[in-house]
Amino acid sequence: MTYEFDQVLDASGLSCPMPIIKTKKAMDELQSGQVLKMISTDPGSVPDVTAFSKKTGHELLGHEEDGGSYTFYIKKA
């Protein structure tokens, strides 16, 4: 399922902790309620993005996997 999004961050090819560091930076630039679409190829980013959302209070709307590429939709609190 896809969601509407306001910004895209392509973190493909990056390893921990870079996907989360870049996601944080991108989220900082959004307005409350806006959605970031983040793409990663790091399997560790699945639990990491869940943890990021839990810690920061931003909402992980959903995520999907497609052949080694993970897409996340995160809504700024």
Which residues bind to another protein, rule: CB under 8 A?
A: 13-18, 20-21, 23-24, 51-52, 54-57
Shorter beta-carbon distance to another protein: residue 49 or 61: 49
Q: Which of 8, 16, 21, 77 is catalytic?
A: 16
69 is catalytic: no
Q: Which backbone phi and psi does 63 adopt, to 5 degrees?
A: -150, 155
Query: CB 1 → another protein: shortest distance, Å?
Result: 26
The residues assigned a catalytic role are 16
